[in-house]
Structure 1
Amino acid sequence: MSGNPQPRRLTEGYIRTLGYLDRPYTVRDTAVTGLLVQINQKSKSYKVQRDLYVGERGRRRFVKTFRRTLGTTDEMTLDEARTRAQELIAQVRRGEDPNARPEDVTRNPDAWTVRRMYDEYASDMRARDCREETIAGILWRRDHHLKPWLDTPITEIKRSMARERHKELTKSSGKRSANMVFKDFRAAFNLAIKVADDPDAIGDNPVKAVTFNKERASNRVIMPDDLPHWWQRVQDIPNPIRRDMHALGLLSGLRPGTLVSLRREWVNLKERAIVIPRMKSGRSFALPLSAYMVELVQRVITAGDVLYAGTPWLFPTRANASREVIATQVWKEKTLPSETGHILRHTYRTVAQRAGIDRIEARLMLDHAVPGIDGVYIHEKALFDRLLETQETMTKHLLALCVPENAERGCEKAAA
């Protein structure tokens, strides 16, 4: 290849076919002008590039070429990259430089507006290598829920204002959304206090006055007596891929966002593991697979080959608009209201306790940090053989609860 390929409408399938060379090259997207995918020696990344002009029409002058890396193709889908690129391009068209630092006049945190405070918090999160999706979610909640405050100096946000807005959001958007907005605000405000030369000029965090809502759903589990009915309803789901997706969700305890984004290249059935390069914790994680889970994953791959030939995803589906094959985005089921997703993670941990699983092993199985000095000296990779045995025990207990009349025959029936 002597140069870059011609611009074209990018698809997930086409991007997967792009091979690695001894030099980087790019392919531009014609669907969103300015979006491109760059193929490096070992990775593929989405980038956005547009020329920035300022001034009135007819008197516009070129300022610079704006560039930003959005993320790797493993971290975000093509649809997500297009959405983020369009947001940045809209700023460029308005004559704004998304990479520009705010004016020096507001360098001191006590002069920050709410908008600036969040921008600084986002920069701090990027410096800490936080996930771009997490940052985008925080900024979206800021713009959507705190719009009247954006240009207000943070020193003018009073405790009474925080309490009142939290109550308003609880009524209009729900308990969890209200809590998330003000947990974001609290963290951003704490950063302002931390980096200020004179913290007293900012004052206390106004979120101290907020009484957070109880989020009962986060502590819910599927009770043991309800698991047989749950399992039967899962087996009745017509789509075999979604059926096994929920079963693996229960048997693994994976976070739902991680579950639906699993890639085939991470699966190593010979070693009985799914090696996920980056979890919420920022670490890689090797999910141990019991013998039953290995059969389930093999079954899902076979179904995927038939329904979505060539897909890189373990649980693929089709995008509603473009009909491209993408990773499953939704883990809710109409026939299982409030009984899929994170509740399965809580159920897994509860059954682990019921089965007498060692507390440290239970934390390692869920990619939870091990507290105290144990977290310094215990290395899960060295314990993987032991964790495989623990996963076998967990699968045995879970299937015995799901198919109590005959756990052995229940496994065979579910695998059929």
Structure 2
Amino acid sequence: MPERLTEARVKALAFEGKPAVVRDAKVTGLLVAVNKTSKSYKVQRDLWQGPRGRRVLVKTVRHTLGGTEEMTLDDARSRALAVLDQIKRGIDPNALPPDASGDAGAWTVRRMFEEYGADMRARDCVERSITDMMERLDRYLPKWGNLPITEVKRSAAREEHRRITANHGATTANKAMRDFRAAYNFALKVVDDPDALPGNPVAAVTFNKERASNRVIMPEDLADWWARVQALPNPLRRDMHKLGLLSGLRPGTLVGIRRDWVRLGDGAISIPRMKSGRSFDLPLSGHMVEVVGHAMAAGDVLFPGAPWLFPSRSSKTGEVIATQVWKEKALPSETGHILRHTYRTVAQRTGIDRVNARLLLDHTVPGIDGVYIHERALFDTLLAEQERMTAAILALLEPSTTTD
């Protein structure tokens, strides 16, 4: 059975005639392997690969983090979380890296995407962007994976774009072709012999016209929206959607908030990495502090010891995980990114300074202001603006908030 490990417990573990493992109850998947001559921290987790909805179990991965004399238990837990997340995304931490000496002119499409993904990581791009790109390759361009990139012709690119449009929609087709275009441009940049690769075949594609995503929940509809959120049976999902509206956070960031990022006494959630690649201190108004505190109390009852603010249980494995789904059947098309648009719209109505509104949403500030303005130095100002934002939103929710 797993046990909550301590430094003293790890130090006391001894070899008793045969190899043994002791599993950590705090970080599921972390274990201490005790052998005759060594003790080491390891992680173990099933590796699933393939597109969403069609993932298959590849193998169970066991990966060594290091000896117990080389790293502390806290360091091992931090490292374990990162490696476990990597395995969860379908990446084998034990896999040998691609042969860097291979010339781009001989790459297959899959190899090209993998090399481009490695380049994105080197440029500190968000891992979710890389994962989504690889999943789109598997799902929408499966026949291209093993093709040499030199065999992808312009006519094939146009035909695949038309096929994906017909079967999966205009936006999806555009995304798949943009992925290929970006990866191929990377190959053109690094190929040893420029004459070995023809021009980018996606140049022949006429992209679909996409409708701008300007949807918001109209101010007069917010009270009804809030009432339907209040009626949700799961208290954690209620608080998740409320915080989504009150903060304007990107939904992927919202559902992944860890409890150790929360600093209620300081009125902040310190998120170490946003989509922008920066860290971000989200200012919490008084009402937001109440929502977060309520979510933590509910989590203590429903998922004791879970490290996330909005934990859930995997339908496949039964393990406790961060919530993955922000869509709600009772609120079709009214959760997720639309709340970010709504927040920004309310900020404009309320007269929040444009620069402050961008900083509250972790948007890049354009121009010279973006060079000289430092949001950490403006935290008190942004906290005051967040109070104004919450007051404006709550005013639109009357009379719903009187029974909150």
Give TM-score, length-normalised by structure 2: 0.81
Shift in alpha-carbon separation, 1:190–1:291, aligned structure 2, 3 A: same
CA distance in 2, matches of 1:76, 1:368: 30
Checking the alignment, whether the CA contact within 8 Å between 2:262 and 2:268 is kept in structure 1 is: yes
* Matching of residues 175-194 of structure 1 within 5 Å: 175-194=170-189
Question: Which residue pairs with 2:21 in the alignment?
Answer: 7
CA shift, 1:412, in A, is 5.0
Give the gaps of 5 or more residues in structure 2. Answer: 1-10, 33-37, 47-58
Question: Which residue pairs with 2:75 in the alignment?
Answer: 43
Question: Which residue pairs with 2:341 in the alignment?
Answer: 346
Matched, 1:84 2:90: yes
Question: Which residue pairs with 2:55 in the alignment?
Answer: none
Matched position secondary structure for 1:84:
coil
CA distance in 2, matches of 1:359, 1:11: 46
Question: Which residue pairs with 2:7 in the alignment?
Answer: none
Matched, 1:161 2:151: no
CA distance in 1, matches of 2:165, 2:298: 43
Which segments of structure 1 move beyond 4 Å, counting only runs of 4 or more?
2-5, 8-18, 30-33, 74-77, 197-201
CA distance in 2, matches of 1:395, 1:387: 12
CA shift, 1:25, in A, is 3.6
Shift in alpha-carbon separation, 1:173–1:336, aligned structure 2, 3 A: same
Partner deviation per Cα, 1:169-210 (whole Å, 9 max, x = no partner): 122223332222112112111212222455465343332333
Give the gaps of 5 or more residues in structure 1. Answer: 47-70, 90-96
Give the one of 131, 141, 144 matched to 1:146.
Answer: 141
* Matching of residues 310-389 of structure 1 within 5 Å: 310-389=305-384
Shift in alpha-carbon separation, 1:170–1:37, aligned structure 2, 3 A: farther
Supply the AA of the counterpart residue of 2:61: G
Partner deviation per Cα, 1:230-288 (whole Å, 9 max, x = no partner): 11110111111110110000100111111111111000011100001111111111000
CA distance in 2, matches of 1:154, 1:6: 48
Count of residue pairs brought into register by the alignment? 368
Checking the alignment, whether the CA contact within 8 Å between 2:63 and 2:93 is kept in structure 1 is: no
Checking the alignment, whether the CA contact within 8 Å between 2:29 and 2:43 is kept in structure 1 is: no
Give the one of 348, 371, 394 matched to 1:399.
Answer: 394
CA distance in 2, matches of 1:374, 1:155: 45
Matched, 1:73 2:81: yes
CA distance in 2, matches of 1:26, 1:12: 14
Query: How much identity, in percent, do the aligned residues show?
Result: 55
Give TM-score, length-normalised by structure 1: 0.79
CA distance in 1, matches of 2:140, 2:259: 38
Supply the AA of the counterpart residue of 2:350: A
Question: Which residue pairs with 1:68 in the alignment?
Answer: none
CA distance in 2, matches of 1:394, 1:214: 34
Supply the AA of the counterpart residue of 2:99: R
Shift in alpha-carbon separation, 1:265–1:412, aligned structure 2, 3 A: farther
CA shift, 1:360, in A, is 1.1
Comparing 151-160 and 352-361, the one that deviates more:
151-160
RMSD: 3.0
Shift in alpha-carbon separation, 1:259–1:210, aligned structure 2, 3 A: same
CA distance in 2, matches of 1:197, 1:306: 59
Matched position secondary structure for 1:177:
helix
